[in-house]
Amino acid sequence: MQYHDQFDVIVVGGGHAGTEAATAAARMGMKTLLLTHNIETLGHMSCNPAIGGIGKGHLVKEVDAMGGIMAQAIDHAGIQFRILNSSKGPAVRATRAQADRLLYKQTIRHTLENYPNLQLFQQACDDLILDGDRVCGVVTQAGIRILSKTVVLTAGTFLNGLIHIGMEHYRGGRAGDPASISLAERMRELPLRIGRLKTGTPPRIDARSVDFSQLQIQPGDDPVPVFSYLGKPEQHPRQVPCFITHTNAQTHDVIRANLDRSPMYAGVIEGIGPRYCPSIEDKIMRFADKEAHQIFIEPEGLTTHELYPNGISTSLPFDVQVQIVRSMKGFANAHIARPGYAIEYDFFDPRDLKPNMENKCLQNLFFAGQINGTTGYEEAAAQGMLAGINAALRAQDKDPWAPRRDQAYIGVLMDDLSTLGTKEPYRMFTSRAEYRLLLREDNADLRLTPIGRELGLVNDERWAFFNHKLEMMAQEQQRLKDSWIQPQHPATENLNQLLKTPLSRPASLEDLLRRPEVNYADLMAIEGIGPGIEHQQAAEQIEIQVKYAGYIERQQDEIDKQQRHEETLLPLDLDYSEVPGLSKEVCIKLNDTKPQTIGQASRISGVTPAAISILLVHLKKRG
């Protein structure tokens, strides 16, 4: 049965990748269909109810800078906001927000239902329609054939999903949702490299059974931060605190005594789990000498009693989960509302993707999110937006777009995946970005909003806000350069209280701001110097640019040097075993990855500078 309409872009899956992919394509004016199992679960957070964190917050800000929906949704649904690493340098500062799970889902659904050019359709996708090696639509569970110029697949943990609780296991996409079996089987017939990964989630606890007087309280930041560049604290719902408890010797004994009932340690689970978000049984075994692990107790929302104990993800049997939870301070009588579990699922080797997220073997098919071997809502959202953009570009026969590693964490993410692949769930960290001083949360808009505008992703409201900020910055930067304070200036007495060494000769306000002990707000609070600008984002940007100018310039020089390699293309059909002089190991690695540029080739482990020189000579000879 043929669907009554055709599309430019069909997005399969309404998770964090799918919703950003669909909205990005729709923003670019494409007729877009979001096909998902269940409209009720659009934007559902499968695991912890939180957005952001180190590296992840950077991705969310980048998605927001290009008009994406995640940051604005969390501004409407966040019940606790914090800036992590606030005392460290700006490159590693990161926003994190605890979400009201229900409010988040409602906000995403409301956004999608009112999005121009976007239609929602509830059906499972069971198959892809192929014309040779070109994908041109999907077939749903009810046998409905829907044609489209491009398809973006974002099936998350659902493909061949297998849930484990102790030695019991059953099929599922996540707790309460069906696995995607037909589509997974169909994908296995296609020329794709497929592997298995695993992730897990902790049991949820009923707050009424917890003794909070025994827990350490952890409030949010004051003033309350926002996520979106357009966000306002007034958009946030009521703010609540989180809490902290710890595991102890008793918890660790329970886990050790029951390891033979852990599907992971008994060898029942084949997939590899996230190294940076390990299960509690993994932590106890890997860090055997640690006497306690900190566990954050996070509310799941304002209208539920459920708590998320962040740090005790487990696939141990339910009776063991009860013992683990009740061993912790404050939890002696705790009632578990939902058991923890692990899930294994299929993922596709991301080295089979081009940097624009299109599959190398199947044209017009784009992959995003957990199916590419990543973990996390933010990593999924970033990939989703990039895939949505490129599906839209393809549908219009336009050139692809992918950010470079020095432009965005999204670029780092996609380059890491498509170059190196992954053997374990990949999550973002600031340490993955070699140019992290340039890729800060605070300047994601400066890096990406103009590109987003050009691509058709940024609406007039965001564009006007952005340009006003630029104007404010330019005016104030000029004033700081032009305003000089003489030692005999009436403001000097107050100024000297800020300075480590008193002012002995004339200095511009810019010079003064460059001093490590001076910040913009304190400087502007001095009568005769301030009041400065009220635009907080512009003021923050000015301060960072002044203080870190030297480092930023040095990093820019390095980028300029590397640029030549990034622009030297390698043919996709090059058989590296025919390049004279390359070692067998290097040939295998290059043939496995088929890098698109010399820059990408140089980042494959084992591809030496000597091998790069050989490749450059070979390219020259080929002409």
CA dihedral in degrees (261, 267, 273, 276; nearest 10)? 60
Q: Rounded to an integer, what distance in angstroms lies between the CA atom of residue 486 and that of residue 450?
A: 40
Amino acid making up residue 450? P
Residue 135 in 3-state DSSP? strand
Nearest approach, Cβ of residue 346 and ligand FAD (Å): 11
Does 279 appear as a known binding residue?
Answer: yes
Q: Is 287 annotated as a binding residue?
A: yes
Q: Is 15 annotated as a binding residue?
A: yes
Q: Annotated binding residue at 376?
A: no
- The reply to whether 285 sits in an annotated binding site is yes
Chain length of the chain: 623
Residue 38 vs 583, nearer CB to ligand FAD = 38
State how far the Cα of 148 lies from the Cα of 139, in Å rounded to an integer: 11
Name the residue among 280, 253, 244, 241 with its Cα closest to residue 264. Answer: 280
| Dihedral sign from CA coordinates of 131, 33, 125, 12 | positive
Q: Is 284 annotated as a binding residue?
A: yes
Three-class HEC string of 498-533: HCCCCCCCCEEHHHHHHCCCCCHHHHHCCCCCCCCC
The rounded distance, in Å, linking the Cα atoms of 128 and 419 is: 26
Residue 85 CB, nearest distance to ligand FAD (Å)? 18
550 a known binding residue?
A: no
Nearest-angstrom CA–CA distance, 107 and 104: 5
Task: For residue 281, say whether it is annotated as part of any ligand binding site.
Answer: yes
Report, in Å, the least distance between residue 580 CB and ligand FAD. Answer: 42
In the complex, least distance from residue 161 CB atom to ligand FAD, rounded to whole angstroms: 8
Q: Is 17 annotated as a binding residue?
A: yes
The two tokens of residue 598 are 């010399």
Q: Check whether 447 is labelled as a binding-site residue.
A: no
Please answer whether residues 307 and 207 qualify as being in contact, where contact means their C-beta atoms are separated by less than 8 angstroms: yes
Q: If residue 146 lies in a helix (H) or strand (E), which one and from where to where? A: strand 145-153
Closest to 266 measured CA to CA, from 363, 387, 191, 166: 166
Task: Tell me the C-alpha distance between 30 and 8, whole Å.
Answer: 6
Q: Which residues are within 8 A (CB) of 24 and not within 5 positions of it... i.e. 6 or more apart?
A: 66, 67, 68, 384, 385, 388, 389, 392, 457
* Strand 242-246 relative to strand 216-218, pairing: antiparallel
| Nearest-approach distance from CB 540 to ligand FAD, in angstroms | 28
For the bound state, the minimum distance from the C-beta of residue 136 to ligand FAD, rounded and expressed in Å, comes to: 17
What are the C-alpha distances in Å from 33 to residues 72, 112, 158, 574? 22, 11, 20, 37
Please indicate if the annotation marks 278 as binding a ligand. Answer: yes
Looking at this protein, which amino acid is placed at residue 295? I
Q: How far is 582 from 365, CA to CA, in rounded Å?
A: 33
Q: What are phi and psi of 239, to 5 degrees?
A: -95, 140
Q: What are phi and psi of 472, to 5 degrees?
A: -60, -45
- 123-129 long-range contacts, CB within 8 A, separation 24+: 123/35, 123/37, 124/37, 124/178, 124/180, 124/182, 124/183, 125/12, 125/35, 125/155, 125/180, 125/183, 126/182, 126/183, 126/186, 127/182, 127/183, 127/186, 128/186, 128/190, 128/362, 128/365
200 is in an annotated binding site: no
Please report how close the Cβ of residue 583 comes to ligand FAD at its closest, in angstroms. 37
**What does the block give as tokens for 477?**
């930067």
Residue 277 annotated as part of some ligand binding site = yes
Q: Which is nearer to ligand FAD, 162 or 255 (CB)?
A: 162
Nearer to ligand FAD, 364 or 370 (CB): 370
Q: How far is the CB of 447 from ligand FAD (least distance, A)?
A: 24
Q: Is 283 annotated as a binding residue?
A: yes
Min dist. Cβ of residue 379 to ligand FAD (A): 7
* Residue (197 or 458) nearer to ligand FAD, CB: 197
Beta-strand pair 216-218/341-348: unpaired
Task: Please choose, from the candidates 508, 505, 533, the residue with its C-alpha nearest in 3D space to the C-alpha of residue 520.
Answer: 533
CB nearer to ligand FAD: give 52 or 403: 52
Instruction: Return the number of the residue (55 or 411) whose C-beta is nearest ligand FAD.
Output: 55
CB atoms within 10 A of CB 284: 21
Query: 181 vs 451, which CB is nearer to ligand FAD?
Result: 181
The least distance separating ligand FAD from the CB of residue 139, rounded to whole angstroms, comes to: 10
Our CB check for ligand FAD shows the closer of 283 and 594 to be 283
Q: How far is the CB of 296 from ligand FAD (least distance, A)?
A: 12
The residue (of 37 and 109) whose beta carbon lies closer to ligand FAD is 37
Q: Quote the least distance from Cβ 254 to ligand FAD, whole Å.
A: 21
**Burial (Cβ within 10 Å: 0-12, 13-18, ≥19) of residue 116:** exposed
Given the complex with ligand FAD, which of 13 and 599 has the nearer CB atom? 13
Q: How near is the Cβ of 221 to ligand FAD at its closest, in Å?
A: 22
Check whether 55 is labelled as a binding-site residue.
Answer: no
Please say which residue, 313 or 602, places its beta carbon nearer to ligand FAD.
Answer: 313
Q: Would you say 355 or 425 has its CB closer to ligand FAD?
A: 425
Nearer to ligand FAD, 128 or 538 (CB): 128
Q: Is 14 marked as binding a ligand?
A: yes
- Give the CA angle between residues 594, 598, 600 to the nearest 5°: 60
Residues that bind ligand FAD (CB under 6 A): 12-18, 35-38, 41, 46-47, 124-125, 154-158, 173-174, 177, 180, 183, 199-201, 277, 313, 343, 369-370, 375-377, 380
Question: Which residues carry a binding-site annotation for FAD?
Answer: 13-18
Question: Which residues carry a binding-site annotation for NAD(+)?
Answer: 273-287
Question: Which residues carry a binding-site annotation?
Answer: 13-18, 273-287
